[in-house]
């Protein structure tokens, strides 16, 4: 009987020991979790901090490369000026057959009175004078309409071309085209414009012939 009681007591002690071990086993990982969790959290934060710093450095490198590339591709002041001048030249009317020389010679008389030997109707005489100054042979006529058959005709206003126009009952008028306005009207330097050499815009509807002097 004594042995049976001792046996039962041993069983209870064994069961108690097993329960204590189970409780310890269940408690210990739980108490360790915060430490492992803190370690994992610290590692996670460190990883994201590194990633953020790496991203910032990466974007900074890209920004520096783009800035350097833009600086290399940006035109200098001289290049920009040359481009602007080239663009302006492209927008100017074309010049040919010594036309620019005609304009320059005609403009040298602007503001002056009559430089010819004729006392009236001297626009044709002035045009012949300009042609002679630039090494061309004129029409030899004092009539503006004589220039409608001079040189060779062109289809529209062109810098350096000779424009022949009608003045209604007062006859004709002639001068050299120095430009064209936004509406397509020719700007003409001519003699006998208000009894002097002047540069003025004329209605394109008045022009019936544009000619270029033969070289």
pLDDT at 214: 81
Is 157's pLDDT higher than 70?
Answer: yes
Q: Please report, for residues 123, 157, 207, 214, the alpha-carbon distance to residue 193 in angstroms, rounded to integers and kept in the order given.
A: 8, 20, 16, 26
The CATH number of the structural domain formed by 99-212 is 3.90.1720.10
pLDDT at 23: 43
pLDDT at 201: 97
pLDDT at 72: 61
The arithmetic mean of pLDDT across residues 57-84, rounded, is 60
What does pTM read for this prediction?
A: 0.55
**SS3 string of 114-133?**
CCCCCCCCCHHHHHHHHHHH
Confidence of residue 46 (pLDDT cuts 50, 70, 90): low
Q: Please report, for residues 67, 73, 103, the alpha-carbon distance to residue 80 in angstroms, rounded to integers and kept in the order given.
A: 19, 12, 29
* pLDDT tens column, 8-34: 555 455 555 544 544 444 444 444 444
Confidence of residue 63 (pLDDT cuts 50, 70, 90): confident
* 154 token code pair: 């062109």
pLDDT at 14: 53
The arithmetic mean of pLDDT across residues 142-155, rounded, is 94
Q: Which of 108, 97, 212 is nearest to 163 (CA)?
A: 212
Q: Please report, for residues 7, 11, 15, 16, 160, the alpha-carbon distance to residue 2 in angstroms, rounded to integers and kept in the order given.
A: 9, 14, 20, 21, 142
Is 191's pLDDT higher than 80?
Answer: yes
pLDDT at 39: 56
Mean pLDDT (the chain, rounded):
74
Confidence of residue 149 (pLDDT cuts 50, 70, 90): very high
Is 53's pLDDT higher than 60?
Answer: yes
Share of the chain above pLDDT 90, in %: 48
Q: Which of 172, 99, 182 is nearest to 134 (CA)?
A: 99
pLDDT at 61: 77
Q: Please report, for residues 12, 123, 137, the alpha-carbon distance to residue 106 in angstroms, rounded to integers and kept in the order given.
A: 133, 11, 15
């Amino acid at each position: 009987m004594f042995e049976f009681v001792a046996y039962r007591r041993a069983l209870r002690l064994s069961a108690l020991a097993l329960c204590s071990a189970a409780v310890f086993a269940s408690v210990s990982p739980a108490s360790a979790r915060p430490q492992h969790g803190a370690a994992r959290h610290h590692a996670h934060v460190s990883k994201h901090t590194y990633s953020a710093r790496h991203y910032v450095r990466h974007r900074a490198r890209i920004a520096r490369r783009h800035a350097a590339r833009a600086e290399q591709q940006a035109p200098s002041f001289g290049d920009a000026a040359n481009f602007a001048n080239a663009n302006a030249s492209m927008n100017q009317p074309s010049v040919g057959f010594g036309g620019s020389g005609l304009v320059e010679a005609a403009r040298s008389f602007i503001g002056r009175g009559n430089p010819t030997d004729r006392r009236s109707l001297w626009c044709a005489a002035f045009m012949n004078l300009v042609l002679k100054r630039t090494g061309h042979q004129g029409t030899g006529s004092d009539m503006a309409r004589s220039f409608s058959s001079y040189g060779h005709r062109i289809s529209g206003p062109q810098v350096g071309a000779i424009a022949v126009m009608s003045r209604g009952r007062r006859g004709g008028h002639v001068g050299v085209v120095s430009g064209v306005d936004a509406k397509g009207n020719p700007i003409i330097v001519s003699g006998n414009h208000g009894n002097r050499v002047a540069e003025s815009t004329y209605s394109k509807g008045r022009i019936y012939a544009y000619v270029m002097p033969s070289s």
